[in-house]
Chains A and B, each alone.
Chain A
Amino acid sequence: MRIHFKTSYDHDIRLFPDWWSFLVYAALVAVAVALPWIMDDFYLGEVTNVLIWAIAGLGLMLLTGQTGQASLGHAAFLALGCYSCVIFMEQGLPFLIAFPLSGILTGIVGTLIAIPAIRMHGIYLAIATIALSILADDVIVLMAPITDGVSGKFAPMITIFGIEIERWTTPDRFYWLVLAITILCTLAYRNILRSPLGRAFAAVRDSEVSATAMGIHIARTKAMAFGISCAITGLGGALMGFYAGAFNNETFSLVISITLLMMIVIGGLGSIHGAFFGAVVVAFLPQALSMGKDLIGGGSVAIPGLETGVFGAILILFILFEPMGIYGRWMKIRIWFELFPFARKDMFKRQKSYLKTERLR
């Protein structure tokens, strides 16, 4: 078991609590960077897909896990990020400008949409945001002159300082690009969490009354969360476009919104790890299912809705047995090993100790 000795306040402010965790993450990044030499192109593409979903998931996590606002409209922001980035590039902007710009645009639109939406709470907000996902489809069709509507668009070649990056011809470069963006998004997320704004998000999530009494402007904070969330999601959407190569009005459907929300719940709400764990499940579930079908000999039979069904079943199992998601399960296993052999069976039971000391009146 590692013990943290705190010698200054910086220990709590630092990105990594100790040398050990710094080394773990440094090793993880090193392996990630070296991956193109280790893996073949097919699996590299799958890992790229995981990272892109993780970016989109981080976006929604900030809103749902951190600030407590559910959204089923995030497919619309994926679409906005994707279309705006590609359209900016078609207008001649280089990727390095078009990409961040698409994130900022998505963030601004998200904030504007949030202003009326955040009056709603919980399930009502989730239902209202469904409309966004559905509307996005129609808006793309209506705006066919710029979006090419039903026929869709092809993602252009990305050029950064003369280096050409494309998902199929240079999968390793595309992977590194996505990796770099993933790391930047994760760092920004972490930085927000260890700053006043991140704590304001948690405050709004857990108690609006006392957050208000502490001087937090509830509506403004929620709108901020919405905006940042949409910006990150928009970046994820742009990368999805480049990953898919082609997209149209049906690419970013309500199903994508639902998948994204399920993903972060399964991964573990309120943690960065959760977005990544959830993304692994989303990206590899189709493969796992087709392997499973091959095993039972039904390889060629298409079963409509199988993926969504299995995904839903996993979600329900998690909500029933591990509401903290994969991340929660992972932490428990880790703590069990760290405490071995002293772990007790009932260690993770929710404690209600205060009932014992409370003087009942």
Chain B
Amino acid sequence: MKPLLEIANATLKFGGVVAVNDLSFSVEEGEVYAIVGPNGAGKSTVFNLISRFYQPYEGSISFDGQNLLDRKADAVADLGIARTFQNIELFEHATVLQNLLVGRHRHRRTTLVEEMVFAPRVRREERKHREAVEEVIDFLDLQPYRDKMIAGLPYGVRKVVELGRALASGPRLLLLDEPASGLSVEETQDMRWWIDDIRKQMGITVLMVEHDMGLVSGVCDRVLALADGAKLAEGTPAQVQADPAVIEAYLGAGAA
């Protein structure tokens, strides 16, 4: 079977900095795959390559057999790829509900004129969007925040809302950039159960960047260790943690 996401020999430079260096890896449908590595290793840049925010100098990226490089950044969501950002990017002056509804945007079927008069079709579509979003709200226990503005929400809740917005789009592949960073121990625990459920109940493939090795070993099938944009090691969490090169580059350097 072909992998869901396949990155082959991708290279990206920012001026003199080689952020991603001849990197190849692939993510199978249904697995939870983690990328670990020290700060500045190029993890977020890999996500931005998949999101098509950056154009790789070389290499190829394909999703479900289609060439991702043929697409613009705003056409990636349509394939069923959703993501969160390391430094939470929510719509600050909108409510939690509205934020999650934006996640449904790729399912928009109505035209401007229909929306202006709020035609029956718009109402029907809106009901469908609400149902999908309401399921996510239940799943992530967001009811208390449903109609609250994002500005003014605690950091931990924002992280969950961002996960919710990505889930609301009904993705096949979920990209999570440091889902547990800045969360308390209990919040991290919740995140762990959610990621487990996202894979097992919803059947969504997850690619995540995470520093918390507890979380990584807890939920991930495979791990890729990255340093200076290049692959150091790949394998099960235990294999990667035991890899001498990884211990040297990542855990050894100041024991982050």
Contact = CB atoms under 8 A, between A and B. Distances in A.
A, B co-complexed: yes
Contacts of A212: 51, 53, 73-74
Nearest to A350: B152
A91 interface: no
B118 interface: yes
Contacts of A346: none
B22 to A, nearest CB: 26
Contacts of B165: 210, 214
B94 to A, nearest CB: 5
B102 interface: yes
A197 B112 contact: yes
A297 interface: no
A215 interface: yes
B200 interface: no
A211 B112 CA distance: 18
A196 B76 contact: no
A9 B132 CA distance: 11
A207 B77 contact: no
Interface in A307-361: 350-351, 353-355, 357-359, 361
Contacts of A194: 118, 126
Interface residues of A, number: 42
Contacts of A10: 127
Interface stretch (A30-38, A139-147, A216-224, A254-262): A216-224
A209 interface: yes
A192 B113 CA distance: 9
Nearest to A4: B147
B105 A357 contact: no
B89 A214 contact: no
Contact of B118 (A12, A191, A207, A353): A191
Contacts of A218: 74
A216 B74 contact: yes
Interface residues of B, number: 54
Nearest to B156: A357
A206 B151 CA distance: 11
Interface in B75-125: 75-78, 82-83, 85, 89-94, 97-98, 101-106, 108, 110, 112, 115-118, 122-123, 125
Interface in A54-93: none
B116 A205 contact: no
Given A200-B105, A354-B154, A210 B118 contact: no
B169 A214 contact: yes
A302 interface: no
B190 to A, nearest CB: 14
A199 B51 contact: no
A359 B159 CA distance: 13
Given A191-B118, A194-B126, A354-B155, A216 B105 contact: yes
B115 A200 contact: no
Interface of A: 9-10, 12-13, 15, 188, 191-192, 194-200, 202-203, 205-207, 209-218, 224, 228, 270, 350-351, 353-355, 357-359, 361
Interface of B: 51, 53, 73-78, 82-83, 85, 89-94, 97-98, 101-106, 108, 110, 112, 115-118, 122-123, 125-127, 129-131, 134, 151-156, 158, 165, 169, 181-184
5 contacts: A210-B165, A214-B77, A214-B105, A215-B74, A354-B153
Given A354-B158, A357-B155, 13 more contacts: A191-B118, A196-B108, A197-B108, A209-B53, A209-B85, A210-B165, A213-B73, A213-B82, A214-B102, A214-B105, A216-B102, A358-B182, A359-B182
